[in-house]
Amino acid sequence: HDPYKILVSEVMLQQTQVPRVMEKFPSFLKRFPTVRALAAAPLNDVLREWQGMGYNRRGLYLKRAAEIIVAEYDGKVPQSPELLERLPGIGHYTARAICTFAFGHASSLIETNIRRVFIRHFFNDKETVRDEEILPLVKQTLPSKAKIRDWYWALMDYGSLAIPKGENPNKRSAHYVRQKPFEGSRRSVRALILRTLLAQPLTETKLITFVGKSAPKFSREEIKDIIREIKKE
């Protein structure tokens, strides 16, 4: 029920499989046990601890969110979805998941497993299903506030475990995007750049040369462009 721990877990679960989060979550909390500890920590320490999770900007956004929570909300995670969505890296689903699991709010949620359940049972004859069509049905199924956490846990488990193998109703979602391979992608170069800089400070010229040797399919100009992207964050 700890809002900070749920905030951390929900951000970690964005675009990362549960087994990987289960492995990283305890060590991250041991290093940064409270929102104040995370807010006060050097950014390098946070990004170093985040290594292995992928999408490193989430670690950056989580650190910035902690700083705002301490500065503007006296170290207490906001209970309003609208306030949560103002924090870096917190979108529509994550804000409502935090409100549901931390505070017991009866919010309507859609994530990949919930979407899979509703498309399978309510949209069998439709090829393209938008989340806006699913949300009213989710709202109609919500139980009392006292059981809201259990309901969503069961719904997510059902979507994850009970849908027959080989069947993926989410392919009929208007929001379905197939994840591109990590190896050889711009994301892999971003991760390499960050990992290199956390290990040793380098000038930009030396960094480009080092990264170019490990990612030879990327030109120096492409690597420079990725470095510019990182700097903007």
Mention every residue, 6+ apart, whose C-beta is less than 8 A from residue 91: 85
DSSP letter for each residue of 134-152: HHHHHHHH---GGGHHHHH
C-beta of residue 69 within 8 angstroms of C-beta of residue 78? yes
Which residue is it, tokens 């969505």? 85
C-beta of residue 209 within 8 angstroms of C-beta of residue 215? no
Euclidean distance between the first and final Cα of the chain, in Å? 31
* Residues classed as catalytic: 10
How far apart, in whole angstroms, are the C-alpha atoms of residue 55 and residue 230? 12
Q: 195 pairs with which residues across the strands? A: none
Q: Crossing angle of helices 18-31/3-12, nearest 10°?
A: 140
How far apart, in whole angstroms, are the C-alpha atoms of residue 31 and residue 100? 26
C-beta of residue 128 within 8 angstroms of C-beta of residue 172? yes
